[in-house]
């Protein structure tokens, strides 16, 4: 049975207005014109988001004006639908977005090729799934269907859709996309086609995905129509819950939310407030799990006050040792947006393996908000994902230079405790879970 459109939707289309969005969503298309959008020639000089950021305000204005003029030649509105003829500049939202839930409907034609950019980066793929697999171009797999993160590395998770969910030509398809950090999930016609995969930074693969960016509608090769485009910005608490829920099997709580059972070290320098471990002001020291771990992953939420400083002790040997040098590492937890930290060594910023390897900056939440972090130690390799974005991926056994030339004899440790390195500030930690990983 076909679903009947609500009367409000039919009425809106009839008068050229955007139909009412789902509760909590903001329409991206008004049903009348290109308001809220501008052109973007992704092949032009300076269109790479990092390059565009470096342009002057006048240069940005000039580039967008030219791209928008071209877009208006190829984009139109027909009966409340946004239509592209298969040519010209793409459309980009005036606004930039971070963590979002995006919904839209599209309808296309045979041989067309399109997609949706997230955070100014390609893309959730749309194409003709009737095309036959070409063994001369084995990484191009339209026969698997739309919805995959086509610009990920071939065979990387999410690059190809899990199932083919495209409807026949002439019918509307429905996308639902949830993006938290780099983690992207895509449903096409209510079928999950990408499951919490990392969306790679197409522009510079060694770097994480941008924290914010524009939504773009890409099209070439044939007409495509869009309608019911709407977005909902995901708040931090919900984003943390999304990250905590996915892949949660095997993680066990190491803090009971009420006392320090199972913990060692100067626990008197910490207190439990609202089910969180909080370092007492002007106190500190290393507290750590009684259990030791080899290969493991740890998940937790943390919150720093303005200028707050703490750290995660990774494979800590215990008994008063200096975590930054005698553990595998101290993973820095820091309000590094605070002006007092502007001139730190890069290896001291938030998420870094302290004194050894710098993390990518700019992915933490403001002081006073809860962050979600996942740390994975396998052998000598340490990976850190902050709020859904991988900010550190390093083999510490290869590190030969250190801040202030201070040796780190513990960096090659393969076992030890997990804990916190208090530095006099009331940094808080909650929902602390650890998963032992089997050696491969």
- Identify the bridge partners of residue 434 per DSSP, sorted by sequence position: 252, 298
Is residue 229 domain-shared with residue 253, that is, in the same domain? no
Can you tell me the mean pLDDT for 309-327? 95
**For 397, what's the count of Cα atoms within 13 Å in the CB-facing half-sphere?**
8
Same domain, 250 and 292: yes
- Asked if the structure places residue 400 within a domain, the reply is yes
Q: Quick one: 178 and 263 in the same domain? A: no
| pLDDT single digits (tens) 36-94 | 999 999 999 889 999 999 999 999 999 999 999 999 999 999 999 999 999 999 999 99
pLDDT at 21: 66
Asked which of 200, 217, 233 is the last residue of a domain, the reply is: 233
The reply to whether 19 falls in a domain is yes
130 and 227 part of one domain: yes
Residue 168 lies in a domain: yes
Please tell me the distance from the alpha carbon of residue 123 to that of residue 114, in angstroms, as a whole number: 9
Task: Calculate what percentage of the chain has a pLDDT beyond 70.
Answer: 95
Residue whose C-alpha is closest to residue 328's, from 316, 342, 311, 340? 316
Q: pLDDT tens-digit profile of 298-307?
A: 999 999 999 9
105 and 33 both lie in a single domain:
yes
Q: Is 355 exposed, middle or buried (0-12, 13-18, 19+ CB in 10 A)?
A: buried
Find the domain containing 140 and state its range.
Answer: 7-233
Predicted pLDDT at 46: 86
pLDDT of residue 440: 56
Instruction: Please return the burial class of 109, using the count of CB atoms within 10 Å of its CB with bins 0-12, 13-18 and 19+.
Output: middle
Q: 9 pLDDT exceeds 50?
A: no
162 in a structural domain? yes
CATH code of residue 418: 2.60.120.560
Q: What is the mean pLDDT of residues 326-337?
A: 97
Higher-confidence residue of 104 and 15: namely: 104
Is 221 found in the same domain as 81?
A: yes
Q: Is the pLDDT of residue 270 over 90?
A: yes
User: For residue 303, with 0-12 CB atoms within 10 Å meaning exposed, 13-18 middle and 19 or more buried, which class applies?
Assistant: buried
Q: How many residues are listed for the chain in this entry?
A: 440
Lowest model confidence (mean pLDDT) among 212-221, 360-369, 403-412, 431-440: 431-440
Both 163 and 273 in one domain: the answer is no
Residue 84 lies in a domain: yes
244 and 155 within one domain: no
Judge if 267 and 200 occupy the same domain: no
Residue whose entry in the numeric block shows the structure tokens 């790679």: 200
Task: Clarify whether residues 223 and 116 are in a common domain.
Answer: yes
Is 2 part of any domain? no
| Whether residue 188 sits in one domain with residue 89 | yes
Do 146 and 251 fall into the same domain?
no
The residue out of 233, 264, 294 marking a domain boundary is 233
**Number of compact structural domains in the chain:** 2
Domain limit, last residue, from 233, 254, 270: 233
Judge whether residue 10 has pLDDT over 50. no
Cis ω before 123 (30° cut-off from 0)? yes
The answer to whether position 138 is within a domain reads: yes
Between CA 268 and CA 250 the distance in angstroms is 30
């Amino acid at each position: 049975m076909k679903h009947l459109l609500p009367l409000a939707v039919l009425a809106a289309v009839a008068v050229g207005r955007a139909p009412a969005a789902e509760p909590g969503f903001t329409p991206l298309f008004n049903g009348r014109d290109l308001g809220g959008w501008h052109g973007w020639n992704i092949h032009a000089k300076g269109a790479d988001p990092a390059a565009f950021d470096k342009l002057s305000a006048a240069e940005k204005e000039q580039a967008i004006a030219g791209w928008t003029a071209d877009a208006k030649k190829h984009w139109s509105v027909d009966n409340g639908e946004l239509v592209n003829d298969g040519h010209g500049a793409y459309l980009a939202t005036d606004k930039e977005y971070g963590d979002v839930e995006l919904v839209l409907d599209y309808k296309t034609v045979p041989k067309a090729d399109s997609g949706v950019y997230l955070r100014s980066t390609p893309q959730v793929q749309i194409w003709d799934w009737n095309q036959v697999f070409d063994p001369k171009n084995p990484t191009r797999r339209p026969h698997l269907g739309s919805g995959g993160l086509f610009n990920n590395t071939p065979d990387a998770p999410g690059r190809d859709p899990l199932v083919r969910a495209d409807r026949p030509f002439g019918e509307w398809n429905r996308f639902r996309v949830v993006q938290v950090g780099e983690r992207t999930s895509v449903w096409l016609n209510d079928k999950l086609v990408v499951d919490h995969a990392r969306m790679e930074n197409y522009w510079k693969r060694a770097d994480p995905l941008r924290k914010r960016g524009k939504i773009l509608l890409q099209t070439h090769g044939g007409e495509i129509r869009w309608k019911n485009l709407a977005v909902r910005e995901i708040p931090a608490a919900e984003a943390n819950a999304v990250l905590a829920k996915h892949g949660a099997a095997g993680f066990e709580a190491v803090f009971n939310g009420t006392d320090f059972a199972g913990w060692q070290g100067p626990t008197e320098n910490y207190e439990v407030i609202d089910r969180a471990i909080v370092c007492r002001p002007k106190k500190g020291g290393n507290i750590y799990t009684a259990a030791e771990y080899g290969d493991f992953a740890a998940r937790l939420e943390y919150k720093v006050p303005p200028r707050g400083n703490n750290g995660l002790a990774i494979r800590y040997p215990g008994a008063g040792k200096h975590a930054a040098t005698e553990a595998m590492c101290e993973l820095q937890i820091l309000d590094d947006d605070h002006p007092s930290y502007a001139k730190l060594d890069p290896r001291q910023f938030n998420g870094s393996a302290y004194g050894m390897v710098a993390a990518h900056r700019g992915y933490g939440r403001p002081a006073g908000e809860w962050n979600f972090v996942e740390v994975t130690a396998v052998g000598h390799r340490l990976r850190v994902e902050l709020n859904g974005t991988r900010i550190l991926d390093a083999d510490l056994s290869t590190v030969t230079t250190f801040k202030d030339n201070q040796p780190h004899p513990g960096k090659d440790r393969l076992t030890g405790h997990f804990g916190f390195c208090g530095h006099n500030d009331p940094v808080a930690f909650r929902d602390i879970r650890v998963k032992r990983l089997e050696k491969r």
